[in-house]
Structure 1
Amino acid sequence: MRTPSVYVAEELMPFLRAKIAERLYREGMKQSQIAEYLGITQAMVSKYLSGRYKVPPEDVVQRLEDIANEVSKFILFGGRREDAVLLVARRLFELFQSGFLCRFYAEYAGVGEDSCRSLFSVTQGRREILEVLNMALSELIKNERFPELIPEVRSNFAYSLPSPRSIEDVAAIPGRITAVKGKAFALPPEFGASEFIARILLRLAGIRPEVRSVLNIRYGRDIESALTEAGFKIGKVKTGGLSEEEAVRAIADVFRQDAYDAVVDVGGLGVEPLVYIFGETPFDVVEKLKRLVGSL
């Protein structure tokens, strides 16, 4: 039986691994390092570098080249191996979700294309949430000043469905957003990827249902001054010493008093101070981040 996983393993991964290996080798990475990162033998890396691998159809080649470029850059800037694996898996899943790979898989497996599409389909509402958050995330990580705002606990960026009922109704960044060599990196958003920040939006849904997106950044005197200069309406809490559930309530319940652009958590013993920037959409949040950066 030729399942999608067999199709990926036999038809896509040899070419994709080869293209990643070629890029890493051109940048000076040793074959042994490439082998360790890709989870294959050094002999297999040598085989790929010599051009001995299966080439998919031309349309598929272009998409895999794009993935190889993205993953190679992620690796070269110090991204973790497990995160690179997730990035590849997510990108391939997106190609199935969009229906692009279903045409090629159907031909390979001798099944109907509709069967593939139904297997990977998501509801339109969820797809739109992921698309919007992903576009806003791309804009965010392009900002050259953003990496210096990422806290020690790293940043997350979330967007909920209207009237969310569980953390599975909130999309966020798996593994959070991290800074490597002065550049921001993030995996594609997924539903259920961040429990804490999702629970903040879940509680907010019963207080300010229009507020459906949030991003956390570091806090400091420079940030506090910039928030004021940028004209942010700011709430303030202290979650040091609180349980996680109490911290969620403290941050969200500030909005019972008024609508805020940001909530400052001054932290406390064992709790890093953070700023939570809120908006109706991820694009609102990114625009507020740009205003803040402009005031730094």
Structure 2
Amino acid sequence: MKTPSVFWAEVIMPFLRAKIAEILYSKGMPQSKIGEHLGITQAMVSKYLSGSYKKLEGSLGEKVERIANSVAEMIFEGAKKEDLVKFVEAKFFEMLADPDFCMAYERYSGISGIVCQEIIPKGRERREILELLSIALRSLLEDEKFPSLIPEIRSNFAYALPNPRGPEDVAAIPGRITVVRGRAFAMPPEFGVSRHTARLLVKVSNVRPEVRSVLNIRAGGDVEEALKRADLRVAFLKKERRSEEETEDAIAALFRERELDAVVDRGGFGIEPCVYIFGSDPFDVLKKLRRIEENL
């Protein structure tokens, strides 16, 4: 019986493993070590690296490649195997609500793709969002360089449900991330605890549905130079008087023009200059943060 989970195992997972292997190998990881992380033999890693696997084309392929990038980043961050399993499994349930996945499953099985959405466990999406943001937050709090990048208004780290309708669909950090005795400190993430960051992410996601996570850090000449050296796609908001809502609308408008990794807000009356790092998920955001830190 060709269920959605069988489609995931037979079609999506080989492509996902191959892309993860390619990323890890391009960063200098030995094939034997890659095999350990992926739970496959070195011979299978070599097969993937030679291109001997079925390719996924179009937007579904692009989405799976984004997952692969996040998994690779988690591996480089030293994530536990349990966390990797949780992340990939969460992405499976997330895909059940994705039209591209459902249509591909329909072509694969001959069964209506509607069945995918009908088997999503009630309430699972929100639990998975909190779990994945918590894993990423732990990694962020262990980053010794991060405290120096927390702005006066403090940082927030947010992750939205697919196609969020409002701040209640965005998980973030209650009270934001602060510095205690030289170390970053934060409470566990919750839904509906952020105002500005959540609204911003909702507005950006409405323009670019693939953008579902954001982290803000301090601005400054050194950070702008690091953004440039990191070769990230960056846009700027000039310094001017505006409200929080106007700032959110202005940033969302920038995403209508082109894809972006970060936006530098040079501030205004009552608005502290700030840099917003955007990504498809929290681990994509962390990957971009690391590139900034490496170039500071």
Q: What TM-score, normalized to structure 2? A: 0.58
The residue type paired with residue 131 of structure 2 is E
Alpha-carbon distance, 1:239 to partner:
6.1
Contact in 2 for aligned 1:240/1:270 (Cα 8 Å)? no
- The equivalent of 1:149 in structure 2 is 149
Task: Note the alpha carbon deviations across 1:13-71, whole angstroms, 9 max, x for none.
Answer: xxxxxxxxxxxxxxxxxxxxxxxxxxxxxxxxxxxxxxxxxxxxxxxxxxxxxxxxxxx
Cα distance 1:132–1:239, how it changes in 2: closer, same or farther (>3 A)?
farther
- Quote the Cα distance in structure 2 between the aligned partners of 1:239 and 1:166: 27
Q: Write out aligned runs for 1:110-189 (5 A).
A: 123-189=123-189
SS at match of 1:153: coil
- Quote the Cα distance in structure 1 between the aligned partners of 2:214 and 2:243: 21
- The equivalent of 2:213 in structure 1 is 213
SS at match of 1:205: helix
- The equivalent of 1:32 in structure 2 is none
- Quote the Cα distance in structure 1 between the aligned partners of 2:140 and 2:240: 29
Contact in 2 for aligned 1:217/1:276 (Cα 8 Å)? yes
- Quote the Cα distance in structure 1 between the aligned partners of 2:126 and 2:286: 20
Cα distance 1:197–1:186, how it changes in 2: closer, same or farther (>3 A)?
same
- Quote the Cα distance in structure 1 between the aligned partners of 2:239 and 2:170: 23
| Pairing 1:245–2:265 present | no
- Quote the Cα distance in structure 1 between the aligned partners of 2:191 and 2:185: 18
Alpha-carbon distance, 1:262 to partner:
0.2
Contact in 2 for aligned 1:171/1:190 (Cα 8 Å)? yes
- For structure 1, the residue ranges without an aligned partner over 5 or more in a row are 1-120
Q: What TM-score, normalized to structure 1? A: 0.58
- Quote the Cα distance in structure 2 between the aligned partners of 1:135 and 1:188: 10
- The equivalent of 1:259 in structure 2 is 259
Task: Note the alpha carbon deviations across 1:60-85, whole angstroms, 9 max, x for none.
Answer: xxxxxxxxxxxxxxxxxxxxxxxxxx
- The equivalent of 1:233 in structure 2 is 233
Q: Write out aligned runs for 1:16-165 (5 A).
A: 123-165=123-165
The residue type paired with residue 221 of structure 1 is G
- Quote the Cα distance in structure 2 between the aligned partners of 1:268 and 1:166: 26
Aligned structure 1 segments of 4 or more residues deviating by more than 3 angstroms: none
The residue type paired with residue 293 of structure 1 is E
Alpha-carbon distance, 1:141 to partner:
1.0
Contact in 2 for aligned 1:239/1:271 (Cα 8 Å)? no
Contact in 1 for aligned 2:164/2:202 (Cα 8 Å)? yes
SS at match of 1:206: helix
Alpha-carbon distance, 1:149 to partner:
0.1
Alpha-carbon distance, 1:244 to partner:
2.0
Question: What is the number of equivalent residue pairs in this alignment?
Answer: 176
What percentage of residue pairs aligned between the two structures are identical?
Answer: 58
- The equivalent of 2:281 in structure 1 is 281
- Quote the Cα distance in structure 2 between the aligned partners of 1:183 and 1:141: 7
- Quote the Cα distance in structure 2 between the aligned partners of 1:174 and 1:157: 10
- Quote the Cα distance in structure 2 between the aligned partners of 1:152 and 1:235: 22
- Quote the Cα distance in structure 2 between the aligned partners of 1:180 and 1:132: 24
- The equivalent of 2:198 in structure 1 is 198
SS at match of 1:158: strand
- Quote the Cα distance in structure 2 between the aligned partners of 1:162 and 1:268: 31
Task: Find the structure with the greater CA-based Rg.
Answer: 1
The residue type paired with residue 237 of structure 2 is V
SS at match of 2:236: strand
Task: Note the alpha carbon deviations across 1:105-128, whole angstroms, 9 max, x for none.
Answer: xxxxxxxxxxxxxxxx98100000
RMSD: 1.4
- For structure 2, the residue ranges without an aligned partner over 5 or more in a row are 1-120
- Quote the Cα distance in structure 1 between the aligned partners of 2:138 and 2:124: 21
- Quote the Cα distance in structure 2 between the aligned partners of 1:171 and 1:295: 29
Cα distance 1:245–1:215, how it changes in 2: closer, same or farther (>3 A)?
same
Alpha-carbon distance, 1:235 to partner:
0.8
SS at match of 1:249: helix
SS at match of 1:223: helix
